[in-house]
Chain A
Amino acid sequence: MGLLGWILQNFWSLLVILFLALVALRIAWRFHRYGANRAELSYILRRSPFYLVVLTFCFFAAAPFLIMFMHTFKTDGDLYRRPQPFVFRQEPTLEHLDALFNNTAYLDFIRNSVLVGIAVVLITLLLSLPAAYALARLTGRWGERAGILMFLVYLVPPTLLFIPMFRIVVLLGLKDSPMSLVVVYPSFTVPFSMWLLSGFFKAVPPELEEAALVDGYNRVEAFLRVVLPLSLPGIISTIVFTFTLTLHEFIYGLVFIANTSQRTLSVGVPTELILGDVYFWQPLLAAALIIAVPVGLAYNLFLDSLVQGFTMGAVKG
């Protein structure tokens, strides 16, 4: 366990020390830059309540994840007998992580989720890229109406549709197969990405397409050769958010697929790692955390782009 063990055993003190060190460094840097005078000090003091608010919000947002992180490495004895959730009384252990990957269907869940996600992203792009462009530029008033209809569809929650969809999935012979999700997930990813993408397409100056038309291309070619390459950053962020939407989905996954090895992450982890009343807490918490962190990073990375697409999409074109 070495370094990780040491870090875990001193988790909270290290967290506090790291934070204080960063604050001290920042203040020192300001003093170095602007001079260690009274004005600077009063500026820092005036600013500190703001950071306190930020810190409070961060703490509430992060608390469950911090607990998840610590508990992943706790032995059963440490976890259940006279619990002291914030410290390690026994040596941290990797056995639960090991169990999660080797003794459960966790890897199957990951594989299923990734495959479903990729397939859905491909179908979604194929359908929504041209449709979003049509909404943004080609169709006039009736296109706008179709766009509103699509958006209404996005607002129809799965809880309203899962029963008839279950019947359709059974009829198609897709019950218990991840293919059922590949068929059904575009019902919400397509409206979502159409909305986002049409925002990005609206941001491309119309003269560029007109220039392509005058330069000898038809509308389809102008879309493929000018609009698509220029919207690439927007398309990438649409891919990211579409993929995570499929990762999040729970109800359809729960209803359509009953056998363990075919389930996706969001359904498999909470249903299969709990046997009746027996909770395998450490693997459960680890399984959640391992997914949460990369998705959170991806969201943060593409958030500005999402905000931009949202704004453009909301502005009438």
Chain B
Amino acid sequence: MSIVQLSGLKKYFDAVHAVDGVDLAIDQGEFLVILGPSGCGKTTLMRMIAGLEKPTAGQIHIGGDDVTDLPPRKRGVSMVFQSYALYPHMNVFNNIAFPLKAQRREKKFNKRIIREKVENTARLLEIDMLLDRRPRQLSGGQRQRVAIARAMVTQPAVLLLDEPLSNLDAKLRANARDELKDFQRSSNITAVFVTHDQIEAMGLGDRIVVMAEGKIQQIGTPQRIYDDPANEFVATFLGSPSMNILSSDGFRFGFRPEHFLPKTLHDSPENSRIFQYYVKRVEYLGSDRLVYGYIHGHDNDLTLAKVPSNVRVSLDIEGDYEFAVHNSDIKFFDTRSGQRIEAQNLAEAV
């Protein structure tokens, strides 16, 4: 059952079409990641779900109710901001209690209930020893937990997270990602997570929504989006280094650098497409070698290969080699629209 339903959602800022017709259903208990480059409208989309922006057109339903015209506080959502937006004049306890106090009259919360709820949530996030501190006395990781605690304490229908990991340093970030995922799974809350970081998106999301230019490009599991991109944008946006794209007559095709390997490494060369590959430069990345070069007949398109280091094939600069890609790893795109075309017979035309 979908808990959030977006239909025909649009947001125009004068001439800028930040969100340009989005339809999306978010399921109860899922971890949905909205992924896209900066300026793709992902943050605007989330702010519309939160109620911080009014849509130009379209409807938002949360828990079956039309909330399009409701203010944030009436939507049963909560949000973790990129900067965490902890109230600097309140200690951690009061920060977490702040949303509860807003509902005090409506839900008949007394002081004791509020204290209980705050302490329970704090214990869950292992910040119960920090309750007397002010936000500025906390580390980045602690601040993030407080922000999540404040968002969780009212047991919202949906938890919105706006790039909450981007303020943490790299080491903390991997750890925080794990914890966030565990926490979401154990509390079974519906989470919508906005990010421009594909590793975060792949690691966290049950499903990923890839956005560009205000529109949804593809929705699917991380694996589906990676292996089976719907269009050229999704194909090139995910993966690092990104997919090689080459032009051919009437269409374009692409394959990932890790699938582009010396012919001798392929077990079934008959199911593979073989290319003459001229190596220009080799970078050693530890576990992999990143090879830069050109395929014969495509002299304008720099093509990359990612060869595992443990493969003992010597690759010399300015040498010519035979490289191959498995047929199923080649994706085809329409030249004009960029959409995927499923056409086995095209493989022969490459």
Contacts and interface: CB of A to CB of B under 8 A. Distances in A.
Q: Nearest 9 CB-CB pairs, A to B? A: A216-B102, A215-B99, A211-B85, A207-B85, A216-B73, A213-B72, A214-B79, A214-B72, A207-B81
Interface of A: 205, 207-208, 210-218, 221, 225-226, 229-230
Name the residue in A211, A218, A221 with the highest tally of chain B Cβ atoms < 10 Å from its Cβ: A211
24 contacts: A205-B85, A207-B81, A207-B83, A208-B87, A210-B81, A210-B85, A211-B81, A211-B85, A211-B87, A211-B150, A213-B52, A213-B71, A213-B72, A213-B73, A214-B50, A214-B77, A215-B78, A215-B99, A215-B150, A216-B73, A217-B73, A217-B102, A218-B73, A226-B87
B154 interface: yes
Nearest to B76: A216
A207 B79 CA distance: 11
A230 B78 contact: no
Contacts of B88: 230
Interface of B: 50-52, 71-73, 77-79, 81-83, 85, 87-89, 98-99, 102-103, 150, 154, 160
Contacts of A212: 87, 98
Contact of A211 (B77, B79, B154): B79
Given A207-B85, A221-B102, 15 more contacts: A207-B81, A208-B85, A210-B50, A211-B79, A211-B150, A213-B52, A213-B72, A214-B51, A214-B72, A214-B77, A215-B98, A216-B99, A225-B98, A229-B89, A230-B88
A214 B87 contact: no
A201 to B, nearest CB: 15
Interface-centre pick from A207, A216, A226 (highest chain B CB count, 10 A): A216
Contacts of B89: 229-230
Contacts of B99: 215-216
Contacts of A218: 71, 73
A214 B78 contact: yes
A230 B88 CA distance: 8
A62 B160 CA distance: 60
B103 A216 contact: yes
Contact of B51 (A213, A221, A230): A213
Contacts of B77: 214
A9 to B, nearest CB: 53
Contacts of A213: 51-52, 71-73
Contacts of A217: 73, 102
A218 B99 CA distance: 12
A221 B73 CA distance: 12
Instruction: Tell me which of B52, B71, B72 has the highest count of chain A C-beta atoms within 10 A of its own C-beta.
Output: B72
A230 B89 CA distance: 7
A214 B98 contact: no
Contact of A210 (B52, B102, B150, B154): B52
B16 to A, nearest CB: 16
A212 B71 CA distance: 12
A213 B102 CA distance: 10
Contacts of A208: 85, 87
A78 B152 CA distance: 79
A212 B82 CA distance: 15
Contacts of B85: 205, 207-208, 210-211
Contacts of B83: 205, 207
A214 B52 contact: yes
A210 B50 CA distance: 10
Contacts of A229: 89
A306 B93 CA distance: 33
Question: Of A221, A226, A230, which is in contact with the most chain B CB atoms at under 10 Å from its CB?
Answer: A226
A225 B71 CA distance: 18
A203 to B, nearest CB: 12
B102 to A, nearest CB: 3
A216 B50 CA distance: 11
A285 to B, nearest CB: 45
Contacts of B81: 207, 210-211
Nearest to A207: B85
Nearest to B106: A216
Contacts of A216: 73, 99, 102-103, 154
Contacts of B98: 212, 215, 225
